[in-house]
Structure 1
Amino acid sequence: MSEKPLKIRRSGKIRNRLLIYIVPIVVIMIAAIVLIATTLSKKRMTELATSNLNSSISNQANNIESWLNENLEFFKTAKQGIEGLNPNEEQLQKILDSYYDFNSNAPEGLHIATSEGEFIKPTKSELEEADPTSSTWYKQGLSRANMQYGTAYKNAEGKNVVSAAAIINYGDDSIKVISADVTLEKISIIVNSGVKMEKASSFLVDTNDNTILAHRDTSLVSTTLSTDNSNKLLSSIAKAINDGDYTTQDIGAYVVAFQEIKGTDWVLVSYIAEDVIMASVQELGNYLIITGVVSVIVIILLIIFVVSRVIAPLAGITKSIHAMSEGDFTINVQQESNDEIGVMSSKIAEFVESMRHMLSSISEESEKLKQESETSDSVSKDMFNASQSQAEAMQQLNDTVDQLAVAVGDIANNATTLATVVADTRDNSQKADEAMKETVKISQKGREDMEKLSHAMDGIQTANSKLVDAINEVGTASEEITNIVSMIAEIAEETNLLSLNASIEAARAGEAGKGFAVVATQIGKLAQTSSESATNISNLIEEVHRLIDEAVGQANASAESIEKNSELIHVAVDTFDQIYENIQASNACIEDMIRDVEKVDDVATNVAAISEEQAASADEILATSQNMVEQAKTISRNSEDVANNSHELANTSDTLTSHVQQFKI
């Protein structure tokens, strides 16, 4: 009862995890597909609607052009016939009567107006023109040599017509205009019924005055299309026409197409609401959404079925693993497929078989281990008793050797101390000898240096005397320079007076002396500059005199100091000679003492060596004895450990056997 809930819970968990991962992905993908399909459908339907609207309006425009051209050709033929016959008034009347009601689109036939105001029409025609020269068709025809359509207008009968008019010439010099009125009823039929697209509308506009010529709403016919119209669609179309923008475009909630009618100033406008275009797209979107929802449900059901089928073998594997966790290896795992789950079943079966063999081997080995542990236990007890006796005997031997080693060690230590003291004394004597020899060398060098210093002081005294003489000579030279500078100052003073006199004389000379006055001024400035320079030089020479006097005083003081130092140095040289002789005598005494210490050192070294050899032998004996004692103790401990391990091994064997017996194989 405990395994079945485990199998259902584990299977359901894996399935739910797979569904949690797979279902959202499927839903997102189908939603993305529906969204992309709807967007593409909307774009494509808009393109198709625009294309159909353009095709429809182009077809309507072609029909209107064909209808207009058909009538225009009739009118042109009639005009050319009249001009070719060159009829008189009676013949002209007959010709006009023959065209009356001949063309259903122009039932009133052709009529002519002259510049004198004469109006010629078919006899049966009911048209009346009080002043034909002021009529719309007459004014339009005056500017045309061939029959062409003009703007639409309402005739005397109140009908919306468009006239094809032109100047006619049939032999006389008078100006005559021939015209035929075409009603717009046929054009309205073409405009209103020629729309191919369902729920699309069209109307015709004359761009000369933005008059609506044809419209499904008859109340708008003959009205003016204005940007101020309350209808936003009509006002936006009026703006596009005024701007000359005849491209297909979106205006408000409508798609609007424009088409110019060749040979006229008319523009055909066709439009359809975007809601109409999007209705099919919305319907398609609804179908796609329904299809997507159904697809999601079907796919989820298929996924649940597939997942359940795929993970079904996991229930048996789970049951087998649960049995193994309880120690039951009598199970038989079957491989039901060749996929990863089948491979898992195969590997579990191999693991169960391997565990069976391993548990059987462990059980057999544990029995053998138990027997061997019992044998080891008895042997270890005998070994422990023998090692205890050996350890006690070795301990007694170790105590005896230890006392001998202590006595020999004391002798060796004393001999070693003596050798050390003698060696240290010899080393110190050698160091003293080396230091004394170094002192002798240093004193000798100091004596030589003092002699050199004495000679150097003599040279400095001589050089100082020469320096004093040179400074005195510089003082003499500076006095001569002072005299020369005084002379220059006097010359500058006289030159300045001369330049002043010259300036006065130049001023007296007037204009003739201006140039000389400039020269005199420059000479005065030069004399002034020379005087100032001489004063500066004189000041500098006085400063030099002062410095020379100070240098002479310092040089004399240095000479006296050098002389005193020279006497002291000579005394120091004599003192160094006495020190040098005393040091040499001390050095000879130290050398004799070193030779005596070396003899004592040899005797002490020999005694220490013999004592150390005896101490080393005693130490080796003691170390060997201690090692044997330690080995005996170690053997005793190991024997005890072996005994303990044998008991533990026996217990472990029993425990292992009990554990193996828990498994079923």
Structure 2
Amino acid sequence: MSEKTVKVRRSGKIRNRLLIFIVPIVVLMIVALVMIATTLSKKRLTELSTAHLDSSISNQGDNIESWLEDNLQFFSTAKLAIEGMNPNEEELQKLLDSFYGANKNSPEGLHIGTAAGEFLKPTESTLEMSDPLNSEWYKQGITRVNMQYGTSYTNAEGIKVISASGIVQYGDDSIKVIAADVTLDKISSIVNSGVKMDKAFSYLIDTNDNTILAHREKDMVGATLSTSDSSVLRSGVAQAINDGDYSTRQIGPYYVAFRQIAGTDWVLVSYIAEDTIMATVQELGNYLIIAGLIAVIVIVIILLVVVSRVIAPLAGITRSIHAMSEGDFTIEVKQESNDEIGAMGGRIAEFVESMRHMLSSISEESEKLKQESETSDAVSRDMQDASQSQAEAMQQLNDTVDQLAVAVGDIAQNATTLASVVSSTRENSEKADDSMKETVKISQKGRNDMEKLSHAMDGIQTANSKLVDSINEVGKASEEITNIVSMIGEIAEETNLLSLNASIEAARAGEAGKGFAVVATQIGKLAQTSSESATNISNLIAEVHRLIDEAVGQANASAESIEKNSELIHVAVETFDQIYENIQASNDCIEEMIRDVDKVNDVATNVAAISEEQAASADEILATSQNMVEQAKTISRNSEDVANNSHELANTSETLTSHVQKFKI
């Protein structure tokens, strides 16, 4: 699969995840808004409907009260007119006739009933009353001075009417009641036609006996309400009247408003079905659902466009991170925006540039380290060869000194023999002279060998000093590499901190920030990998530094051993000089002994003493020579260790170079 395909999949995955999280939330929010709007609309429409219902019933009540008041005013005026004229029977009849037909709501006009059982009415009135004292209007009017409406009742003609009645005073002091019957046709018209709301209805109830005075259904007029009525509406209204609670309320599937009619015991009831109100809410809900669906589609399209534009820079950042994870730092990252993604791109660009410079520096320092290690390896091998030569020379010196010791022993034995046998022949003296000459030659040769050994030790000491300087240079280079690696570690820690900060900011962003958390995690992993590589390099360099310190210590120990050996060699040279001088003196003594045989005894004694000293000196020289041989072997082993360490340092340099070459810069 190509890199481009991987990137497209990653970008699509982030977009799809964002949409998976965002779209359901948007849908839920829109659904919640539709539900809230529907609920609020229902509540508001219910409030408006009840308010409208209250307004409608208030208007109906005002019309009924106004109509009743107009009629009552007319009747009161007629009553006052009669009382003011104090008419006789003839005048009273004329007054009653004059008021007949003046009020169309009272077609029978005014009529009067007396305590004597008389019934007075207009001439043209067809109203008949055989027992006015037991009539409803008389019973109601006798209790009132002013004209007032009473309860409804059915008159002799079977018509439902109400009477405005009151005590009238004229003529004598007998009790008289004046009344006027008012039909309920006009009230029914007001009740049935005065409703302002569509599909709302009203009816009028007399609370004295819960009788319906006006209703849109004629067969309901005169019916009595009961709390046990099969109709939920009527039973609920009856209960409200019984409780005296006339507040607007919901009774069953209806919203009901009440209005008491002033001056009467009537209550006007107006109601509207809940379904009528909810039909508008349902229609509004349908509109809101359609609008919500359209909003979801539009928002999803906008989210697709916005998310695609927002995450577009992530494709380049992902490509750059993928290349960096494979060690390619030849990439160039551009900051395409000023938001968090753009800032991330800028930081990655700075990181790539910093890593490019650091890897170049590490590569150069690694090459220098490799060259220094190769130089150290060559020097250590030269030193090993020199120490090997020194060991061989010391072995030869040891053999020479051994021969010298044997010769000195022979001299001591001959000197003792010479001392014990004073009377030895001249032949023996000549042999002694020959032996002394041979000893002089051997001593001279030993002295020359010791001088050569001294010069060789000086050369070894000089080479060892150069080796120490070279190793110190390598140590300094390794310290510079350590500083560079520490810088890499710090940059990796800063990058890891940047990744941590990006993760925190993503977590703060919640679900919308999870895509950025993935990028921050990849950067954190890259920083962790860089930190681990820096740690490995630091460990390797620390190991190199340790080996260099050991090499320096061994070189210094070798220098000290070489210096001590040089001192011992100088002492040996001085000892050989003394031996040479002593042997020369012995030779002179032997020659003098040959010339002066008489002094042989004294010379022999001196030779014996000198021979003993030479024997002791020869033993010391032999011990010193053996010690020098051991020191030379030690120097050889140390030189071999230095060579091995230099080789290991070269391998370490190659390992560091191979690590650096994994990155492309």
Q: CA deviation at 1:181?
A: 0.5
Q: CA deviation at 1:219?
A: 1.0
Q: CA deviation at 1:152?
A: 0.4
SS of 1:163's equivalent? strand
SS of 2:187's equivalent? helix
Counterpart residue number, 1:332: 332
Counterpart residue number, 2:138: 138
Task: Confirm whether residue 70 of structure 1 aligns to residue 41 of structure 2.
Answer: no
Counterpart residue number, 2:341: 341
- Cα separation, 1, equivalents of 2:216 and 2:338: 76
Relative to 1, partners in 2 of residues 1:139 and 1:368: Cα closer, same or farther, differing over 3 Å? Answer: closer
CA contact (8 A) 1:60 1:194 kept: yes
Relative to 1, partners in 2 of residues 1:324 and 1:171: Cα closer, same or farther, differing over 3 Å? Answer: same
Q: CA deviation at 1:353?
A: 3.2
Q: Which amino acid aligns with 2:44?
A: R
Counterpart residue number, 1:639: 639
- Cα separation, 2, equivalents of 1:222 and 1:392: 153
CA contact (8 A) 1:391 1:633 kept: no
Counterpart residue number, 1:285: 285
CA contact (8 A) 1:145 1:166 kept: yes
CA contact (8 A) 1:34 1:285 kept: yes
Q: CA deviation at 1:632?
A: 8.6
- Cα separation, 2, equivalents of 1:196 and 1:635: 126
Q: Which amino acid aligns with 1:164?
A: A
Relative to 1, partners in 2 of residues 1:319 and 1:128: Cα closer, same or farther, differing over 3 Å? Answer: same
CA contact (8 A) 2:88 2:171 kept: no
Deviation per CA, 1:440-490: give whole Å up to 9, x if none: xxxxxxxxxxxxxxxxxxxxxxxxxxxxxxxxxxxxxxxxxxxxxxxxxxx
Deviation per CA, 1:260-308: give whole Å up to 9, x if none: 1111111111122222223323332332233223222222221221111
SS of 1:268's equivalent? strand
> How do 1:472-491 and structure 2 match up within 5 A?
none
Q: Which amino acid aligns with 1:292?
A: G
Q: Mean alpha-carbon deviation: is it higher for 8-17 or for 37-46?
A: 37-46
> How do 1:137-536 and structure 2 match up within 5 A?
137-384=137-384
Sequence identity of aligned pairs in percent? 74
Q: How many residues align?
A: 434
Q: CA deviation at 1:634?
A: 7.7
Q: Mean alpha-carbon deviation: is it higher for 88-97 or for 346-355?
A: 346-355
Counterpart residue number, 1:51: 51
- Cα separation, 1, equivalents of 2:630 and 2:268: 127
CA contact (8 A) 1:203 1:216 kept: yes
Relative to 1, partners in 2 of residues 1:391 and 1:221: Cα closer, same or farther, differing over 3 Å? Answer: farther
Relative to 1, partners in 2 of residues 1:647 and 1:229: Cα closer, same or farther, differing over 3 Å? Answer: same
Q: Higher Cα Rg: structure 1 or 2?
A: 1
Q: CA deviation at 1:185?
A: 0.5
Relative to 1, partners in 2 of residues 1:89 and 1:648: Cα closer, same or farther, differing over 3 Å? Answer: same
Counterpart residue number, 1:92: 92
Mind listing any 5+ residue stretches in structure 2 that lack a counterpart? 399-626
Counterpart residue number, 2:473: none
SS of 1:53's equivalent? helix
- Cα separation, 2, equivalents of 1:230 and 1:144: 38
Deviation per CA, 1:407-454: give whole Å up to 9, x if none: xxxxxxxxxxxxxxxxxxxxxxxxxxxxxxxxxxxxxxxxxxxxxxxx
Deviation per CA, 1:186-216: give whole Å up to 9, x if none: 0111111111222221111111111110111
- Cα separation, 1, equivalents of 2:16 and 2:393: 79
CA contact (8 A) 2:394 2:632 kept: no
Relative to 1, partners in 2 of residues 1:10 and 1:171: Cα closer, same or farther, differing over 3 Å? Answer: same
Counterpart residue number, 2:410: none
Relative to 1, partners in 2 of residues 1:370 and 1:173: Cα closer, same or farther, differing over 3 Å? Answer: closer
> How do 1:536-555 and structure 2 match up within 5 A?
none
Q: CA deviation at 1:67?
A: 0.7
- Cα separation, 1, equivalents of 2:394 and 2:78: 165
Deviation per CA, 1:71-120: give whole Å up to 9, x if none: 01111111111122222222222221111111111111111222333222
Q: CA deviation at 1:151?
A: 0.6
Relative to 1, partners in 2 of residues 1:632 and 1:149: Cα closer, same or farther, differing over 3 Å? Answer: farther
TM-score, structure 1 normalization: 0.60
Deviation per CA, 1:350-406: give whole Å up to 9, x if none: 333334434443444344333322222233234446778789999xx9xxxxxxxxx
Q: Which amino acid aligns with 1:342?
A: G
TM-score, structure 2 normalization: 0.60
- Cα separation, 1, equivalents of 2:200 and 2:46: 14
- Cα separation, 2, equivalents of 1:662 and 1:173: 135
SS of 1:164's equivalent? strand
Mind listing any 5+ residue stretches in structure 1 that lack a counterpart? 398-626
Q: CA deviation at 1:663?
A: 4.9
Relative to 1, partners in 2 of residues 1:212 and 1:331: Cα closer, same or farther, differing over 3 Å? Answer: same
- Cα separation, 2, equivalents of 1:127 and 1:630: 166
Q: Which amino acid aligns with 1:22?
A: I
SS of 1:312's equivalent? helix
- Cα separation, 2, equivalents of 1:314 and 1:139: 98
Q: Which amino acid aligns with 1:166?
A: G
